[in-house]
Amino acid sequence: VRVTSTDDLITRLRQAVQAQYQIPAQSVLVVWNDDTLEEKLVSWGRTAAVELTEQSLLNLIKKPQLTLRVMDGTKFRAMLSVNLKVDGWLDVSVLRQAVRPGELLSEEKIQIVRKKLSELPTGYLKLLEYPAEFKSNRSLPVGTILSSVLLERVPLVFKGTQIRVIVVNGNLRLAAQGEVLENGFRNQ
């Protein structure tokens, strides 16, 4: 993608973060401290533009600087580095109560809190729909942002359990006894 103005560049940065984190555009913040981008491009020629690649738009939250290629048509003109700060906000699951190792979560133990993207741990969980299907794999204090490395899913059915199997096809309904062959989780 090529852009010729600061506004276009900021729009592209916002769109990249919006897509990567699946958040609305109004939840993305771009702090830009180079108001002379257009002047720099004009100095390279009227048809100059900066080039953004998919790679350059990845993980913008962690980048203090963005290096852009200045192109004049198909001709490379220069490399341009710009300082920027990109961040945003996302609603995530946070502990309201401390939990011990092996303790099951519940709706009373978690809350949804708006956090900055730059503060989120790897594997964070946006919204924990069924908290009771997870247990902690370590002691976690109040205020912990829940992530996949801190929790373990608990099966809904366990191997060897006797169950009643019901198959419905139109007006036909068939019921039989069965046995669970392996532990099973929601939607498996």
CA distances for 135 relative to 86, 99, 128, 168, 182, angstroms: 34, 9, 12, 34, 19
pLDDT in tens, 4-47: 888 888 899 999 999 999 999 889 998 877 767 778 877 887 78
Residue 135 and residue 154: Cα distance in Å, rounded? Answer: 7
Residue 112: pLDDT band with limits 50, 70, 90: very high
Q: For residue 15, give the H/E element and its range.
A: helix 6-21
What average pLDDT does this structure show over 142-170? 92
Number of H helices, E strands in the chain: 2, 10
Percent of the residues in the chain that have a pLDDT greater than 70, as a whole number: 99
pTM of the model: 0.70
The pLDDT of residue 117: 93
